[in-house]
């Protein structure tokens, strides 16, 4: 088990989004650990009109300006949580949305950001958790190496702005990626 440290996340958001593919997202919940392999991500940077930090630091986006390697959990449509990992050096906003997981063991439907949060019991209580420590209730471990030829780059989905930016990444031919 290798857990990437803060320097892994303190890099360009697009590269981190690709490098997270094949890693495991783990959630300590009650007496068990829920886990899945990250198979799809999306990148969001401060210069991106679809990023929560596009208009600067606000109460909602403040986490995006904090230390790389923190979780950023928020609610969409008043009912679904999404989990991101903060990237870039501190005070430079960036994050990678975890869009889909390949379930391991008892997980069921994880082919979308809201679905995977529901399955892993990820809520706003896990906002600003350090994912670089296995002592956390949410962390990331290296698992599989994904070659660049296995990574599909395409336009992001589920957003209204900058929809043509090719900042969505997923493992080619993986049956667990989210649907449009």
Angstrom distance (rounded) from CA 46 to CA 128:
18
- Quote the pLDDT of residue 151: 98
Q: pTM for the full model?
A: 0.95
- Quote the pLDDT of residue 162: 83
Q: Which of 116, 147, 107, 120 is nearest to 42 (CA)?
A: 116
Over residues 139-169, the pLDDT tens digits come to 999 999 999 999 999 998 888 888 888 999 9
Over residues 70-116, the pLDDT tens digits come to 999 998 877 899 999 999 999 999 999 999 999 987 788 999 999 99
- Quote the pLDDT of residue 180: 63
Angstrom distance (rounded) from CA 102 to CA 123:
20
* 8 A C-beta contact, residue 41 and residue 17: yes
What mean pLDDT, rounded, does the chain reach? 93
**Statement: residue 66 has pLDDT above 80:** yes
Exposed e or buried b per residue across 15-51, where buried means at least 16 C-beta atoms within 10 angstroms of its C-beta? ebbbbbbbbbbbbbeeeebbbbbbbbbbbbbbebebb
Exposed e or buried b per residue across 54-77, where buried means at least 16 C-beta atoms within 10 angstroms of its C-beta? beeeeeebebbbebbbbbbbeeee
State how far the alpha carbon of 133 is from the alpha carbons of 52, 71, 93, 152, in Å: 26, 12, 22, 29
Q: How confident is the model at residue 34 (pLDDT cuts 50, 70, 90)?
A: very high
List the domains of the chain with CATH numbers: 6-171 (3.10.300.10)
Element (H, E) at 76: strand 71-76
- Quote the pLDDT of residue 118: 95
State how far the alpha carbon of 102 is from the alpha carbons of 55, 98, 130, in Å: 34, 11, 22
Mean pLDDT is highest, among 37-41, 55-59, 105-109, for 37-41
């Amino acid at each position: 088990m290798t857990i990437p440290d803060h320097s892994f996340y303190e890099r360009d958001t697009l590269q981190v989004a690709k490098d997270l593919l094949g890693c495991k997202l783990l959630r300590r919940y009650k007496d068990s650990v829920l886990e899945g392999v990250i198979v799809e991500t999306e990148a969001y940077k401060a210069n991106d009109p679809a990023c929560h930090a596009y208009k600067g630091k606000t109460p909602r986006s403040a986490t995006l300006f904090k230390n790389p390697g923190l979780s950023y959990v928020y609610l969409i449509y008043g009912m679904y949580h999404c989990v991101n990992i903060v990237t870039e050096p501190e005070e430079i906003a960036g994050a990678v949305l975890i869009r889909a997981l390949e379930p391991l063991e008892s997980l069921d439907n994880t082919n979308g950001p809201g679905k995977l949060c529901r399955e892993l019991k990820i809520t706003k209580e896990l906002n600003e958790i350090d994912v670089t420590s296995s002592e956390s209730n949410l962390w990331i471990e290296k698992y599989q190496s994904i070659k660049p030829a296995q990574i599909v780059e395409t336009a992001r989905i589920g957003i209204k702005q900058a929809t043509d930016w090719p900042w969505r990444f997923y493992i080619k031919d993986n049956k667990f990626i989210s649907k449009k």
